[in-house]
Structure 1
Amino acid sequence: MNQAGQPGEKSVVDVSEQFATLNNLSNSWIISVVLDVSRTIDLFAGSSSGITCLFTLFAALMPVVTTTQTPTEEPNLTNYNVTFIVIMPAFPEFQSIILNHTSLITNELNDLFKKSSINVTFSSCIFHSFSMVNTNSTTVTAICSFKNYSTIPEIGRVLVYHVFENKTRDISNLGPYILDDDSLYVNDYHESSRTTTPMSVVTLTPTPTEEPNLTDYNVTFIINSPAFQEIVSNSSNHTRMIANELNDLFQKSSINATFSSCIFHSSSMVNTNSSTVTAVCSFKNESTIQQVDRVLVYHVFENNTNDISNLGPYTLDNDSLYLNDFHESPHVSTAIPALTVTPTPRRKGTPIDYNVTFIITSPRFQEIQLNSFFQTMKIGKELNDLFKGSSIKATFSRCLVKSLSVVNGDSYTVTAICSFKNYSTIPAVDRVFMYDVFENKTKDISNLGPYRLANNSLYVNDYHKTEPMIARGMWKQQQVDVELASLGADAPNENQVSSGFNVTFIIISLPYLQALHDNTSRLYQSASTIITHQVYHQSEIS
């Protein structure tokens, strides 16, 4: 290596200065300079400072590339309702520890999709609702969300269906749960797994011995002792005990040949001491044995419980038994005092059931889930108290909470079945009348006991009403008129609109005659004139 400073040779510093000068040249000159660098390698060999200088100069010569990072936006989510039937564990076991099963099913679904081929777009699954299919099975619905990325094809319901199908071994197992392999739906998409069974297989075998069809009956009764609080505090034990008592009752009865099984379905609080219990009891339909009907089952239960007084250790209300809608009251002589003036004998027809649906916004759904059994009983009690304290209490029978389902993270929909007695001497309660009673007793659908309601959420069957805008305007105008009157000013008379109100009540001193159905009849016109005069023309608002 030649030493720096020898005659005719360039020093390291000189070369550095040349590169520094070249740094100001255009890119084309920089390229030519880089090609000439090889000629100066001997100059830098053996000199650490020279090598360092060389790399520093290269770094200086390289163009600086700045990248602007695009802000990451949260992708939109696509939600799918994933519905399937769990056949094991059975519904009573599922219901007894619902909170545990809710979290376990959610974890299983999240694990399934996180470990699948669509895990990149998967967001989360949440448990939505469950309901009984039959004595052993449970329908489960969950909401699973997937991210919509512009760079990845959108996940469709068919793909979600097939991923679930493949990860559950053809819809047979979800973790510890055994599934009905023909029960999967993703939104409304379904592929039947049973249509591929060749019909020819059936023709090759002799006629199999078929299991008889089952007839299910809802057996409902009221337990007076032990008290409701005691049953709730140990609900799983009482659930099993009641089911065992019912199974023993029918297995030792005259209809044991056709009896299949009884399972506990639900219970609700009647008052602080009593509980309404509903069980589903199944009977076989065999052609060689006379079919069991609801009246026969009723009488067997009645005879084997000492006239509906005791079911094992449980003390029963002896006027509380219903088989589906069949009921025989032992208190035949007990009459509603207000109706004793009616000469026509009172007969019970088929009870009328209404689905009452509303949304609870407080307490939140998470709080309700922590003790869903108790909250279900409590909501049922509030509904029973509401109608028992209303103007239609004479025909009211009972309300049972049927289901709870989440609307969003905070709110949930409640559906209850409320039954009314159908007396021939009293006009039947219709859905509009019932809606109005609920509305009035809950302060315009705002509060049901401790529960805060969404005031536009009430449905009675399919009947629903919203406050029209014109009605709101009329109400505001009436408020203005009242304020003007209080100030001594005249209320405006132009374009006044009459307000109409439906006023409903029961008259017990006027027998209900067919002529009252015809608003052109003399009886109808006479009665309406007298009622209007008595109620309004002699009042302070006449």
Structure 2
Amino acid sequence: MQPNSLYVNNYPKQPAVIPTVNTSTVSTTRSTVPPTISTSFSTSANTSENTIHFSISFNLINLPFNEQLTNKSSPVPQNITHLVTQVLQNSSLSSELSSCQLNSFSHGPNNSTAVNITCQFKNDTASMNLDRVAIYEHLNNRTQNSRALGPYNMDPNSLYVNGYHPIQPVPAPSLVYFMINFTLTNVNLTDELSNKSSPASNNITLLVTKIFQNSSWSQEFSSCQPANFSHGTNNSTEVQLRCKFKNDTSLKNLNKVVVYDLVNNETHNSRALGPYTMDPNSLYVNGYHKLPTSESLANFTVNFTLTNLSFTAALTNKSSPVAKNVSLMFTNVLQTSSLSPEFSSCQPATFSPGMNNSTAVQLTCTFKKNTSLNLDRVVVYQQISNGTQNSTALGPYSMDPNSLYVNGYHAIVPTPPPSPVYFTINFTLTNLNFTDNLNNKSSLVSNNIKSLMANVLQNSNLTSELSSCQPASFSHGPSNSTKVLLSCTFKNNTLQMNPDRVAVYEAINNGTNGSTALGPYSMDPNSLYVNGYHPVVPTPTPSPVYFTINFTLTNLNFTDNLNNKSSLVSNNIKSLMANVLQNSNLTSELSSCQPASFSHGPSNSTKVLLSCTFKNNTLQMNPDRVAVYEAINNGTNGSTALGPYSIDPNSLYVNGYHEVLPAPTLSPVYFTINFTLTNLSFSGELSNKSNPVVNTITSLVSNMLQNSSLSPGI
């Protein structure tokens, strides 16, 4: 129960003001020094002679003293005075109580606050029992034996009333406590477990409680409470419980050894607590842990190599995290094996460099000697091998499967014979007509063909690997030929390179005269396939197609330097023509253009002869001279311009081909005529082209030209 939660008909009443208390400064040290005692009885001049004063002193251990507390009108002093008043008002002295007034707050021991309050009671003859003892007892009873005043913790030895404080006899210890520690390896620590009141932590506590309740100590057993749950190694959970027993004279034999043995026996040698797996070496009772005697133990030296753990000098430290982790994972392998009841522990012996940057591990594993079990190195080896996937994996580490040894024992795994290698051989015999009888395995012809192929391979460099050849099927081939399918088997020799389909193909091809003859039978040379392999004979590259291109440049004067192949002008003309073709629909077929010759043309022009090469593409129509002519004609504005050069439009020829172009229609010639009429005043209407005056002037000029020698052209 929450200690401040009990109410009966709203009793007791709570203070109106609940201050916030800094519990981080709470001290559990109890004051044993009596406070300064005020006057035990007085009658003040400003109070009635029928009033009795009592000085009440106590220490609040979770209220650190500060100077603000000396201000009697501050909230905290007023609240504490109110709490004391409420305690007395809720007692049988309520009718006599007059008031309580704060006297002082001062420094107490261990950063506590010493409080002194004066309470006034009516001096009533009916209250003959009103004395300091009665007031002490009422205060003590209503503050949980002088331990709590509202939210404040009181020093139970600090309450004094008019100097009165009863001397409490020291009680004999009533309980015997045992601190029990163990580790659960299959439980991950969670926030729920860290909460001591959670179902998960209560369940673990209950399992240990039942061990004692079902034991011979059940009458003396009181309870177990969770003390702490914390992280253990490898994601385990360390548990600490506090178990109490009644301090009875009959418990003289109950000690940490007895409790240890009881828990150990009821948890299968500290291995299982209900559904939880325990680390068998983790059980401690009040610091006691029993170690098995050497006479009852059997030690086994376990060697293995971790191939994905590079050796470092840190591994030689047996307490390093990696060394501990490897030992713990190996421990888990044996704890989850059939040897779990006998297994005790594994400890790292050495870590050393292995081959290929691996790490050689040596552990010493200890087992309890059990006369009912024939525990030897072979049994331990088998259990380890089974728990590490045939000696290949230890948690995240890869093991060398041939590296596991237990006391020098290593099981030799027989190597299975390698599987044979099969090749399917297809070919066509052109001079053998197909008959259904060929698929009869006892057919003389089919067996003869099989033998002929076997002889070809036996006489090759594959003779030592060949096992046999068997006919698979015979079927119709083209032109009344026969398709043959054989299956040939070769030994899988791991000591040397196994034959592949290319090697088998070449052996057959060489032994059949280039795949043309198998004994008396003629072979289709393109029909031989081995496991689908048939070499592709490279197709010869077709010869390129050449075109001679002639044209005349009318604005380039001929010079002898043009025939120099390094001439900038001749190379520029070549590049311009190549660009024309590259920008045409022939771009994918064009290879290059080269100047052939330059010569004198009419009117100081230059005749050009170029040689352009095109790829001979058998997949599509090769370009012809007409296509090349049209590509050049279109790219030179109707054979009139090549870059900055003017072409004679009738000079373009491709391999002698030239198109006669129809005479072009002459474009009209325009003349703009300006003049001034001095006797015509300008007006805005003249801007309208349909104005009669404008039309008249235009007609006069038109008539003048029509009546001149230019009349045919107007």
Q: TM-score, normalised by structure 1?
A: 0.31
Larger fraction in helix: 1
Tell which structure's C-alpha radius of gyration is larger: 2
Higher relative contact order (CA 8 A, sep 6+): 1
